[in-house]
Chains A and B, each alone.
Chain A
Amino acid sequence: MTTMATSLPQFPWLSLLIGLPLAGALLCLLQRRSAIECRWLALVTTLTTLMIALWLFVTHGDGQAGWLLREDAAWIPRFGIRYTLGLDGISLLLVLLTAFLHTVAVLIAWPEQRRVPLFMALLLILESGLMGVFLAVDLVLFYLFWEAMLLPMVFLIGIWGEEGRRRAAVRFFLYTLAGSLAMLIAMIALYLLHAAQSGAPSFALADLAQTRLTLTQEYLLFGGFMLAFAIKAPLVPFHTWQPDALSESPAAGSVDLTGLLLKTGLYGMIRFAFPLFPNATRNCLPFLAALALLGLFHAAWSAYRQEDVKRILAYSSISHLGLVVLGLAAWNATAWQGSILLMVTHGIVTGALFAVVAMLRARTGTRDLAELGGLWGAAPALSAFFLLFALASLGLPGLANFTGEILVLLGTFHTQPLWALLALPGLVFAAAYLLRLVQGALWGPAPANRGAIADLTVREWLVLVPLALLTVWIGLYPAPFLAPLAGPVQAALGGLP
């Protein structure tokens, strides 16, 4: 995996992606006096980051395997820890998603009145941490970002969240931390085994992947890594923190949490757990698929039974991610491309739904489905967007999620027809709870005591239009987003079933 010839080899673009939001955050904290300046500062920072990510996408998104960009520097030589960042097609898409969703999140958080500088700073630190997670190729560096991104999220939930925020925040933190620490132990153990074999201590992913392990060792270490990733994703038995965290979080936090933080778990499997422990992975694929299917149905059923709009969306997230994991477990190129695309589109679509719900909530003061209704007549533009994103979420052809879902199902059917057949009813379930959501919120009689509802403001148009455009674009013409995946997915699957 050598560095590809790049257009600007010297310039540390990847460090810039991490550093720029961090610098913006520091400026926000120093400039505590003016809320307006902080908002603009955050917007400019996220927009600039988005521009860089877009530029990288345009210049490097042609589907080569291997590292498109790579940065490497010594950090703690005594332990062979290096500051190594790498960008391949998979991380390219997720970096782009991160930059995009954070720009949207800043716009969503625009009307926030309480402690704006701190809010914006935390949002930017979170962006920086996420970029680090998607770019780090040294395991310790990855772990560093992996844990560091938790804290801003915890504060976003704990300070600006809704009634049960404190509890939800701490629970989210401890739950994910438990997984992380298991990963840390596995990481150190793997490092020690590798150092004993090779004599050259290293935490680099490429080096550690060369470690010769017995199957038992592989299972144990794989378990440590997967615990962290399964909790973050979340896979079903480990998901109980997620509905609380998502529903107690402020709107911008929900978008981040569902759109990006959950993806880090899946990304961790693809980038670290699978390639480091290929034999354990191969043997565990059916188990993983079973968990994925369980999640798909359990979460869909739970979503159907919720009254709280945000909780419906939270469970729908789990359900969708079940499909993503199923695609990964199917272990072929088509399914993987579908899974990764679905990760991206789910981020956009569910993020958009959380944004719409936050707008609804700002107008009606409730997120209880029973107290909503009759929105179509009162706020037609808002309702139209709501409908669009809900339809995209249930996988309507021509909208974003459809492409990913169909690729996952096709790919899965190719290798494991039974899994694909089992997954199909899950999509019907999705239709059921999403239609119930739409029906309850948009149609039916409006509650008697509700006053007039204003339609979208300019800012809200600015939030929703880009999301809607992307939803339609990926639905109709996904090729540019699938292109960067071709090479890396082939490489990642190489040598396995």
Chain B
Amino acid sequence: MTWLDVLALAPVLVLVIGATTLLMAGAWYHETRPLIAGGIAVALVAAVTAGVAPPSPMEIAGLFSSAPFARYFAILWSLVAALILMLSLRYASEREFAAGEYVALVLFSAAGMALLSGATSLVGLFLSLESFTLALYILVSFHRNNNQGAEAGLKYLVLGAVATGFMAFGIALIYAASGTFHLPEALNGLQVGGHLRPWGLLGWGLALVAIGFKISLVPFHLWTPDVYQGAPAPVTALLATGSKGAVGAALVMVLASAPGAWQELVPLLWVLALLTMLVGSLCALPQENLKRLLAYSSVVHMGYLLTALLPGSPEGYSAVVFYLTVYTAASLGAFAVITSLSNAHGEPQKLAAWHGLGYRYPVRGAVLATCLLSLAGMPLTGGFIGKFVLFHAAIKGGFTGLAVVAILASLVSFAYYLRVVMVLYSSDEPAPALHPGTSLEHAVLLVCVSAILLLGLYPAPLLDLIATLIP
């Protein structure tokens, strides 16, 4: 490992070293506030490092790239980790979480996500994917006194382990067929693979199943609502944003590395996208629990992403990256509202508990409404521009049918998001008293809403930046 490698790896190193230090500190020192503050500082330093450290043209140990694309996501996931720690401060102290471990796990998972977003080899992909999933297994059931949390943790663990098995076996088959772990050779190798070619394709199919588990594509989505519901709200936020987004970014890395080499996988991806959007939409409609609703909505969003990935065009990849960014802001904002309304007794999950909250807590009501409308794709929010670039890429790539399905899904999505917004502003009964929220939590909300509105009103700079990132 050379000095250049270290420099290229700097953002991840900051996260990992910071996490380890805080973990050690937490063993002797039990104050929540300074530990979490330290975690926030580490995440922010990592984000800055990723912004200023010169990207290396070399791959790190042949596993990870530190190209601008990876750096962009390193910044994004570090910021997400910082925001989630800001959200967790009160939440964690009210529930007496072991702060050192909690902070360390969040930072570790951010490091894993940052690595995954730049994986250039199947080994790197596997390692980074498993490293942050491992952290998330623990985080999901971090609230020890909560049965639902334990159930969620177990479900996530069992299904995650199955997915890992699929992934490992798939990678083994790909290696057998193509003779390499490295991308794009592992994909291109299939073209010349001779009689081992079917096995290689099977391997990619298995790897796709594993990825389908991670980003909850239908029919591998069944864990999603339960885990979202049972996990502590800040952890759900991390699950919904970083863990899905990083896998999405990895998919872009994989597919963009070998244009045209994955034509055989297109029908499979097409069917997955179709099912994901249809089933996700229909399941989201009747939900009475906000976290479950957001779970199904995240399923639908992954279907949109596939729609833009399928054409395999630079526009499509740019659209995916832009969409992931907007989706992260909106999704994080929505879970931030849930977190900031939670108190020591629990989280307000049932929609029935949200009646008239928009009047009682106008700021958070407005933020939640904005986030949901952005997820739905309302103009003036980033969500609309995201949908626009996504549909544009899909139609341009010739996937008009899927684009129409995506449009229908977003029509349905307006129905379920709008229902929540209507509940927020219905005045039939007085709103229950919930937590007034801390200023730190409000800061998170401010960041999310500003991002959503900024990207909705003036997306040009980010769109231009992203166009230069695509590998």
Q: Which residues of A contact B (CB under 8 A)?
A: 32, 74-79, 114-115, 140, 143-145, 147-148, 151, 154-155, 158-159, 166, 169-170, 173-174, 177-178, 181-182, 184-185, 188-189, 191-192
For residue B391, which residues in chain A have a CB less than 8 angstroms away from its CB?
184-185, 188
Which of chain B's residues has its CB closest to A79's CB? Answer: B392
Could you jot down 7 A-B contacts, CB within 8 Å? A78-B464, A147-B379, A148-B380, A169-B422, A170-B418, A181-B407, A191-B392
Residues of A within 8 A of B459 (CB): 76
Interface pairs A-B: 7 shortest CB-CB: A144-B379, A147-B379, A181-B407, A76-B460, A148-B379, A78-B463, A188-B392
A171 and chain B: residue at smallest CB distance: B415
Q: How far is the CB of B467 from chain A (nearest CB, A)?
A: 7
| B362 interface hit (Cβ, 8 Å) | yes
Contacts of A184 in B (CB 8 A): 388, 391, 407
The complex places the Cα of A48 from the Cα of B463 at a distance, in Å, of: 38
Q: A77-B460, A144-B380 are in contact. Are A185 and B414 (CB under 8 A)?
A: no
A185 touches B411 (CB 8 A): no
- Cα–Cα distance between A155 and B423 once the two chains are bound (Å): 11
- Measured as residues with beta carbon below 8 angstroms from the partner, the interface class of chain B is 35 or more
Residues on the B chain within 8 Å of A159, using CB? 425-427
Q: Which residues of A contact B467 (CB under 8 A)?
A: 78
Rounded to whole angstroms, the CA-CA distance of A80 and B392 in the bound complex is 13
6 further A-B pairs in the complex, CB-CB below 8 A; given A154-B418, A188-B392:
A78-B463, A79-B389, A158-B426, A174-B415, A181-B408, A185-B407
B390 smallest CB distance to A (angstroms): 10
B359 at the interface (CB under 8 A from A): yes
Main secondary structure of the interface of A (DSSP, over half): helix
Q: For the complex, give the distance between the alpha carbons of A148 and B392 in Å.
A: 20
**Which residues between 449 and 471 of chain B lie within 8 Å of chain A, taking CB atoms?**
458-460, 463-464, 467
Kindly state whether residue B72 has any CB partner on chain A within 8 Å. Answer: no
Let me know if B403 and A75 touch, CB within 8 A: no
The answer, yes or no, to whether B378 is at the interface (CB within 8 Å) is yes
Distance in angstroms from A177 CB to nearest chain B CB is 6
B419 within 8 A of partner (CB): yes
Q: Is the CB of A140 within 8 A of B388?
A: yes
- Residue of chain B at shortest CB distance from A170: B418
* Among B359, B384, B385, B408, contact of A115 (Cβ-Cβ < 8 Å): B359
Residues of A contacting B463 with CB < 8 Å? 76, 78-79
Looking at the assembled complex, report how far the CB atom of A48 sits from the nearest CB atom of chain B, in whole angstroms.
Answer: 23
Task: Please measure, in the bound complex, the distance between the C-alpha atom of A77 and the C-alpha atom of B425, giving whole angstroms.
Answer: 38
Q: Please give, as numbers and ranges, the residues of chain B lying within 8 Å of A178 by CB-CB distance.
A: 411
Assembled-state Cα–Cα distance A260/B130 (Å) = 57
Taking the nearest CB of chain B, how far is it from the CB of A345, in angstroms?
31
Q: Tell me if B's interface is mostly helix, strand, loop or mixed.
A: helix
In the bound assembly, the distance between CA atoms of A424 and B407 in angstroms comes to: 42
Cα–Cα distance between A402 and B268 once the two chains are bound (Å): 62
What is the CA–CA distance of A328 and B338 in the complex, to the nearest angstrom? Answer: 51
Closest to B422 in A: A158
Contact A188 B395 (CB under 8 A): yes
List, in ascending order, chain B residues with CB within 8 A of A170's CB: 415, 418-419, 422
Q: Contact at A78–B407, with CB atoms within 8 Å?
A: no
- Determine whether the beta carbon of B378 is less than 8 Å from that of A185: no
> Does B410 reach chain A (CB closer than 8 Å)?
yes
Give the complex CA separation of A189 and B467 in angstroms: 21
A399 to B407: give the CA distance in the assembly, Å. 45
**B459 nearest CB neighbor, chain A only:** A76
- Nearest-Cβ distance from residue A124 to partner chain B, whole angstroms: 15
Report B422-436 residues with CB < 8 Å from chain A CB. Answer: 422, 425-427
Assembled-state Cα–Cα distance A76/B385 (Å): 10
Give A165 Cβ to nearest chain B Cβ, in Å: 10
Rounded to whole Å, the gap between the CB of B58 and the closest CB of chain A is 31
Residues of B at under 8 Å CB distance from A? 359, 362, 373, 378-380, 384-385, 388-389, 391-392, 395-396, 400, 403-404, 407-408, 410-411, 414-415, 418-419, 422, 425-427, 458-460, 463-464, 467
Distance in angstroms between the alpha carbons of A457 and B388 in the assembled complex: 50
Kindly identify which residue among A78, A173, A189, A192 contacts B418, using a CB–CB cutoff of 8 Å. A173
Q: For A191, what are the chain B residues with a Cβ–Cβ distance below 8 Å?
A: 392
Cross-interface CB contact of B410 among A74, A158, A181, cutoff 8 Å: A181
Assembly CA distance A76 to B386 (angstroms): 13
Shortest B352–chain A CB gap in Å is: 15
A32 contacts B362, CB within 8 Å?
yes
Across-interface contacts of B388 in A (CB, < 8 A) = 140, 184, 188
Give A25 to B422 CA distance when docked, in angstroms: 20
User: Are A158 and B395 touching (Cβ within 8 A)?
Assistant: no
Nearest B residue (CB) for A173 = B418
In the complex, chain B residues whose CB is within 8 Å of the CB of A188: 388, 391-392, 395
A78 to B315, CA, bound (A): 11
Distance, CA A192 to CA B392, complexed state (A):
8
Closest CB in chain B relative to A310 CB, distance in Å = 22
**Which single residue of chain B is at the shortest CB-CB distance from A182?**
B407
A76 and B467 alpha carbons, distance in the complex (Å): 13
Question: Which residue on chain B has the smallest CB distance to residue A147?
Answer: B379
Chain A residues near B427: list those with CB within 8 A. Answer: 114-115, 159
Across-interface contacts of B425 in A (CB, < 8 A): 155, 158-159
Could you tell me if B422 and A147 are in contact, using CB atoms closer than 8 angstroms? no
Task: Verify B422–A192 contact, CB threshold 8 A.
Answer: no
Contact A148 B422 (CB under 8 A): no
- B373 (CB) vs chain A CBs: closest residue: A151
Identity of the chain B residue whose Cβ is nearest the Cβ of A149 in the assembled complex? B379
In the docked arrangement, what's the CA distance between A192 and B391, Å?
11
Which residues of chain B have C-beta atoms less than 8 A from A32's C-beta?
Answer: 362
CB distance from B305 to the nearest CB of A (A): 18
Determine the chain B residues whose CB is within 8 A of the CB of A166 once the complex forms: 422, 426
Q: Shortest beta-carbon distance, B383 to chain A, in Å?
A: 12
Output the least CB separation between A168 and chain B (Å).
12
B403 touches A147 (CB 8 A): no
Residues of B within 8 A of A181 (CB): 407-408, 410-411
CA distance A156 to B458 in the complex (A): 28
CA of A313 to CA of B371, assembled, Å: 37
CA distance A272 to B463 in the complex (A): 28
Checking A79, A114, A143, A185 against B379 with a beta-carbon cut-off of 8 angstroms, the contacting residue is A143
* CA A158 to CA B428, docked complex, whole Å: 12
Report the Cα distance A158→B410, complex, angstroms. 21
Least Cβ–Cβ distance between A320 and chain B, in angstroms: 29
Complex interface: chain B residues within 8 A of A114 (CB): 427
With A144-B380, A148-B379, A192-B396 known as contacts, the answer to whether A185 contacts B404 (CB < 8 A) is: yes
Assuming the contacts A158-B422, A158-B425, A185-B395, asked whether A177 and B411 have C-beta atoms less than 8 A apart, the reply is: yes
Neighbour of A147 across the interface among B378, B396, B400, B419, CB < 8 A: B378
Q: Given the complex of chains A and B, what is the CA–CA distance between A151 and B418 in angstroms?
A: 10
Residue of B379, B414, B415 with highest tally of chain A CB at under 10 A: B379
Say yes or no: B460 contacts A189, CB within 8 Å.
no
Asked, given contacts A76-B460, A192-B396, whether A185 binds B403 with beta carbons under 8 Å apart, the answer is yes
In Å, the complex CA distance between A155 and B464 comes to 35
**A170–B395 CA distance with the chains assembled, in angstroms:** 29
Query: Nearest Cβ in chain A — how far from B370, in angstroms?
Result: 11
- Residues on B with C-beta less than 8 A from A75 are 458, 460
Which residues of chain B come closer than 8 Å to A76, judged between CB atoms? 385, 459-460, 463
Instruction: For the complex formed, measure the closest distance between the CB of B296 and the CB atoms of chain A, giving whole angstroms.
Output: 18
User: Do A177 and B396 touch across chains, with their CB atoms under 8 A apart?
Assistant: no
CA distance A169 to B415 in the complex (A): 11
Q: Which residues of A contact B415 (CB under 8 A)?
A: 170, 174
Chain A residues positioned under 8 Å from B379 (CB to CB): 143-145, 147-148
A174 and B395 alpha carbons, distance in the complex (Å): 23
Q: Which residues of A contact B403 (CB under 8 A)?
A: 185
Expressed in whole angstroms, the minimum distance between the Cβ of B284 and any Cβ of chain A is: 15
The CA-CA distance from A78 to B461 in the complex, in Å, is: 10
Instruction: Give A282 to B389 CA distance when docked, in angstroms.
Output: 33
* Nearest neighbor of A185 in chain B, beta-carbon distance: B407
User: How many Å lie between the Cα of A159 and that of B464 in the bound state?
Assistant: 41
Provide the bound-state CA to CA distance between A423 and B404, in Å. Answer: 38
**The residue from A79, A143, A144, A174 contacting B414, defined by CB atoms under 8 A apart:** A174
CB distance from A128 to the nearest CB of B (A): 11
Taking CB as reference atom, which chain B residue is nearest A140? B388
